[in-house]
Structure 1
Amino acid sequence: MEEDYWRHHSSANWLTQGDSNTAFFHAFANGQRRKCAITNLTTDSGITVDEHELQAHIYDFYRSLMGARGEPSLFLLSPSMWHTIRHVSDEENNNLMLTFSGEDMDKVLASMKTNTAPGPDGFPVFLFKSFWHLTRPLIFAIANGFALGRVDIARLNLGVLSPFPKVVSGCP
């Protein structure tokens, strides 16, 4: 019963204080960050605790794992993994490499249900349909950039798109 009491009490605190820029929110966020922080790693040279050495070690590990451009990849598939019937033909490959047309994107958006739940980005379909005339060129350029291999995928996690503020300035 005591655990239920505190669980409900914490929910009430979160509902009243947690979704604002309050001390409660910052304490909660910092607690989560400390809980998930990597404070030390055991490397070939011993235990690393310095923050810059940790960052360098993690960066080097994933860079060597995934391979940088121009370097041979550590991951290879056996040529005999798939039967030759299942290989992509040159014609199929050319069709896969076609870019998107504006009409294709318009048809896809028009065919989407407007009253569905928001996607992983948090934006509902209604928002995209309402502001399609403004967002169409940007989304079109990004989609075709992916198709043509011109989008630097490594930089995707560096940017955040926030076109609308969650709370109007000056209002709680």
Structure 2
Amino acid sequence: MILWDPDRFHGTVVDVGEFSLTVGDFNLIVAAEDKSSTNLNRRMMRHFRDALNSCLLKELKLVGRRFTWTNEQDSPVLVKLDRAFCDVAWDIRFSSTCLVPLATSPSDHCPLVIHCPEAIRWKRPFRFEAFWPHVTGFMGIVQNSWSRPCPLSCPHRNQIGSTKLQLTLTQETILLLDSAQEERQLLPHELNLWKSLKSRVLGLAVIERIRIKQRSHVNWLCLGDANSKFFHIKANGRRRRNCISSISDGQRVAVEHDQKEGIIWRFFQGLLGAPSDAAHSFDWAALGLPQVDLEGLDAPFSEEEVWQAISDSTLGHAPGPDGLSGSFFRAVWPAIKGDVLRAFGQLFFGNSSALESVNTSTIVLLAKRADASEVRDYRPISLMHSVAKLFMKVGVFRTIFCSCKTF
């Protein structure tokens, strides 16, 4: 693969079976932020980007540094010349690959190591899948699980199995029957199997597409407007954006999971302090705020209010510790509404001890800037329990209703 003039490009194409990497000193930059000075050749930058796009190459992220070369002068010029690019197959298979810089030593170039972090071994949390309501017997599974204490599990693993594996096996079986049909007429039971497998392929393909689309969080496309490879690429890009590949505490850069976990823990532990008494308070009477008619604000919660909150909930975004989303409550509302309404009754009567299990949240860190490198560059976001979200939505709707009556 030749991307550029050999006098300008010094790189190597590494083929690993069906995957490939393009690495080396390209002696060109992609964007203005790849150089510390303003002396830029924008025409060459544009041609370089066009060459990369025509080859369908994606750059591996460089963690811990911005530049890879220096002219070693008193007022140095720093440039990002050394890069690594991967093809689509590599991006789908090894989505967490990144570049880790080493010390420059005697060279003016920074050595780079292609790093593919080991997958963190942790128990995958329960998550409601968007395709489950389409599975035969789904309501029966929910009713049996909801009516008695049982560990949360994924119905598609226990009842359906791996849809991707089944799809592959089904297609292989159809191929064998297709080949046999070229040599002889299929027997009646073989023909029935061939027809049933073709129908099953359609069903499995739809389930797999829904699953991948939910994982990719692509909401501006209809389900049939893109293939599964597109959703895989979008999902991997989303995972990379959310992944903290490295973090710095101001003294060192950590790339291993245990080290990153320690830096993040110490940072937020240091922010916590002892509560103190408030030195000032508001004089609400002096503010002259209009009086609001609060009639109905403290009334018992009704099923209509709860259903309105469920209808307003997003279908498959940001699940909390319970892994449930708005699509779950909409799909199984007749089976679970009794328990949900009883939970609202406990909230109305102030029985907080009965609601201790839903007073939980999952905290995630989202980058506030594209080049986030320290913990302060991340914003902690709390993902609440789904029932607690419904509590808040019903309260907000009531407050809005009372405010509208006044104004």
TM range (shorter): 0.3 to 0.5
- The normalised TM-score by structure 2 is 0.23
Bigger fraction of residues in helix: 1
- The normalised TM-score by structure 1 is 0.45
- Bigger radius of gyration among the two: 2
Bigger fraction of residues in strand: 2
